Amino acid sequence: MKTSDEIRRAHLIKIAADIGSIANLNRALGRKERDATISQIITGAVDSKTGKQKHLGLELARDIETKLSLERGFLDTDPSLCTWPFSTFSYADFCKLTDAQKVVVEESLGKYVSVFIQDRM
């Protein structure tokens, strides 16, 4: 069984890849492009003050979910259980849409979206 640190780290790696880079992720989070926090979490860098591996804590996880318009708790769900069914439209791209645009996409996909959601339950 994966730890919450492993699960959150895997999500950050995927999100950074979907967005294009850690710098892009930092910008999306309202951070300075060269902020090292996300990179250090992804690489598991050791905190010089505590000597412990840096991790994505609960408060930062919820903040990231809010800023990226992800569902609360998304970063705590094992990514191996979350399969996005579209190859040309990433989940990160979907999350960037406005609520009104998401409604249009969801209504357009209708039963396909509900089947995807039901498969996750």
Gap between the Cα atoms of 64 and 56, Å rounded:
10
pLDDT confidence bin for 99, thresholds 50/70/90? confident
- Beta-carbon contacts of 16 under 8 Å, excluding residues fewer than 6 positions away, are 22, 24, 25, 38, 42
pLDDT confidence bin for 1, thresholds 50/70/90? confident
- Beta-carbon contacts of 63 under 8 Å, excluding residues fewer than 6 positions away, are 29
pLDDT tens, 39-67? 999 998 998 889 999 999 999 999 999 99
- Side chain identity, residue 8: R
DSSP string, 13-44: HHHHHHHSSHHHHHHHTTS-TT--HHHHHHHT
Nearest to 74 by CA among 19, 16, 7, 22: 7
Give pTM, 2 decimals. Answer: 0.66
